[in-house]
Chains A and B, each alone.
Chain A
């Protein structure tokens, strides 16, 4: 499968909000309600931040939210903090028990 499409980079100042988009097709993002988002700091493993539209694992602040419309999912981070600076990846179930990931977005907190 082709990777989901994410912007290469986004940026925002502390306290602001940023949104990262993730565009796929009707065979992945648009076809299933199994989209998840990951935060990855340099040299670290990806960390699950949000899934199934607004479900957050324990410990993930509610500043992180997501949505989906058609073939596009979006992650919004409000009240940006310095520690939010990282790479972010979306992931979707793509049928036949496979996953497809986005190319990643580098978030810079100015």
Chain B
């Protein structure tokens, strides 16, 4: 079964850091580009970051550029999101998403990040 399982969310104060992980299984992880997408409470989906299959190229939303870093370990079938200088507006459920030819095809169950003032 194709599966993505996020972890690492929690409560952190403004200015703090958090690292999210996403464990992939059921498919050849190293073949796929991967993304992070977030959803603030009661609001819509927002694209956050993208990483190529070999980890050589990244893209970021303007709102997180310079603060968040997406990376992966293909040997461990794991995607990461390092989040620094967190702000209250970063509070959201963070989803790990597999990219199938520009389509967000497979989603994890999400992990909640809460940034307190």
Contact = CB atoms under 8 A, between A and B. Distances in A.
Interface in B70-117: 95, 101-110
The number of chain B residues touching the other chain, given as a range, is: 20 to 34
B47 interface: yes
B45 A32 contact: no
B61 interface: yes
Contact of B44 (A3, A48, A99): A3
Interface centre among B35, B47, B109, B110 (most CB of A within 10 A): B47
Given A34-B102, A48-B103, A98 B61 contact: yes
A99 B50 CA distance: 9
Interface in A27-49: 32, 34, 36, 38, 44-48
Contact of B45 (A48, A93, A101): A101
Given A99-B37, A100-B47, A91 B104 contact: yes
A47 B116 CA distance: 30
Contacts of A48: 103-107
Contacts of A38: 45, 104
B11 interface: no
Contacts of A64: none
24 contacts: A32-B102, A36-B104, A38-B45, A45-B95, A45-B107, A45-B109, A46-B45, A48-B105, A48-B107, A57-B105, A89-B45, A91-B45, A93-B103, A96-B59, A98-B59, A99-B37, A99-B47, A99-B104, A100-B47, A101-B44, A102-B44, A103-B44, A104-B44, A104-B45
Interface of A: 3, 32, 34, 36, 38, 44-48, 51-52, 57, 89, 91, 93, 96-104
Interface of B: 33, 35, 37, 44-47, 50, 57, 59, 61, 95, 101-110
